[in-house]
Amino acid sequence: MSGTPVSVTAVEDFLTTNGKSVSGFLCPEFPVPGSLSRVPDSRECQLRYNPCDMKGKTLNIAITGVVCLTAILLSNRLGLLSGQEAKVPGSGFAAVPGQKGGQDVFGPYDPVQNWEKPLAESLPELKGWTFSQATYVFPETPDRVFVAQKGLLPLLPERLKTTWLPQIGPSLKFPVGMGLPMRETASATPSCGGIQNPPNMPRNPNCPDVSDGRAGRPGVDWRWDHVIVVLDRNGKVVEDWSQWDKIWGRPHDIEVSPYDPEKNVWIVDADNHFVSKFTHDGKQRLLTLGTPGVPGDDDTHFARPTFMAFEPDGSFYLCDGYDGTRVIKYDKNGKKLFQWGQKGSKPNETRPGYFNNVHGIAIDPERHFVFINDRDNGRVQKFDENGKFLDQWNMGPRPPMNIHTLYMGKNHILWAADQGSNKLNAYDEDGHFLYSWGTFGTCQGCMWGVHGFVTDSEGSLYTASVRDGRVQKYTPRKGANPDFLVGKPWGSQ
């Protein structure tokens, strides 16, 4: 049995601490070595640690036993102090260390089963219809959860008879089966709901004409209403912002600044090229940035903006965007302060400050960092609050990597949603990979195309998926390593 080396001085100190002394057991001639290189067994004790020539084998055995026992006890104690104690299995890489069996399919979370309730439970007039492409979810509080979506889709039958499709190709059938989705929602509804710009405006290239039927049948294959809804903590609709349905092209991000006492609601619309600020109850539209329906790259136009993020002083950043190549910073009143970014050469641009598809932002307001997802170049670029380049890192091999958005909470861990691997990936602020979890599928908690994710003040996590049209809620698992959780939002208690 091996152990920690033990010095004679340590043996003396141990015996003294426990009311004994070496001199009380050993005569001066006792040949004790300078250190015990390992814990000896009883036979070795008798051979190596012979006490002085004293009468009586009983005393000899007793002294030998005391020395060996002291060495063993002290070695065990020092071993604990030197970090040789037994660790809980899974510490450092399992979401719940010590768990017996199982796996980290959902990381440190448990999915709330069937959290998003059928629309007809709250709005009976929507019987037969369900959620469409879910572009973003934002829990202002656990009891007020905003959802942005591209209108509504018809409910599908729970069971469909398998149909072979030789007209498309050999060996093809639908449904495919084995838990694969029956419908891809991202392309099931046309942007803008078929609403075109007025004749006195230029045509919006992101709003297709639906009159020829190539974008599906309005009222049959899709509906353009209930684009913004609000759910309670149980996933039931409690607010309906349908009064604004006709202004949307494709709402892409919803934010409420945690530093705004009035809790105004900001919504970024990608395909209609604007950002609007609403009162907390949604009854008034207070401000609009950009020119709705008209793309551009000057101070009054955007090119499909994507996401925004707030600083504690009320200033905010806007990613512009799918077709734009810049990040714009505004003051709290919406006055432009400055911008940075130039058009890069995708797909492998490495020059600092060059972008192709500015599709995700996360900030650290305490350390003054701004993280930008340069999506088409497969990297994250790190800046300070003035747009000064600090660092960058590649996000992995393409395919499958396809990062769609970023998020950072109060624990300073940067998370990225990867639509390619259907995982959420964690990094420190210098880009070092820490952890990931997630799996593809239609099960509760499985993912397909997470486009937005965020936590609430209670630590629950929400995801919005563009591919399957689901908004899901996850709660932290009992005993989960807190370092593996997505951080609570800035400004929360």
> Which residues partner with 464 through β-bridges?
452, 471
Q: How far apart are CA 234 and CA 67, in angstroms?
A: 66
Give burial (CB, 10 Å; 0-12/13-18/19+) of 168. exposed
Reported pTM: 0.83
DSSP strand pairing (403-408 vs 414-418): antiparallel
Residue located via tokens 């049948």: 217
CATH number listed for the domain at residues 109-484:
2.120.10.30
Cα separation values, 187 from 190, 214, 215, 466, Å: 7, 11, 9, 9
**Tens-level pLDDT at each residue, the chain (493 residues):** 444 444 445 445 544 444 444 444 444 444 444 434 444 444 444 444 444 444 445 445 545 555 445 544 444 444 444 445 568 888 888 999 999 999 999 999 999 999 999 999 999 999 999 999 999 999 999 999 999 999 999 999 988 899 999 999 999 999 988 888 999 999 899 999 988 898 889 999 999 888 888 899 999 999 999 999 999 999 999 999 999 999 999 999 999 999 999 999 999 999 999 999 999 999 999 999 999 999 999 999 999 999 999 999 999 999 999 999 999 999 999 999 999 999 999 999 999 999 999 999 999 999 999 999 999 999 999 999 999 999 999 999 999 999 999 999 999 999 999 999 999 999 999 999 999 999 999 999 999 999 999 999 999 999 999 999 999 999 999 999 999 999 999 988 7
Give domain limits for the chain: 6-81, 109-484
The separation between CA 292 and the C-alpha centre of its own chain, rounded to angstroms, equals 31
Alpha helices (runs of H) in 222-307, residue ranges in sequence order: none
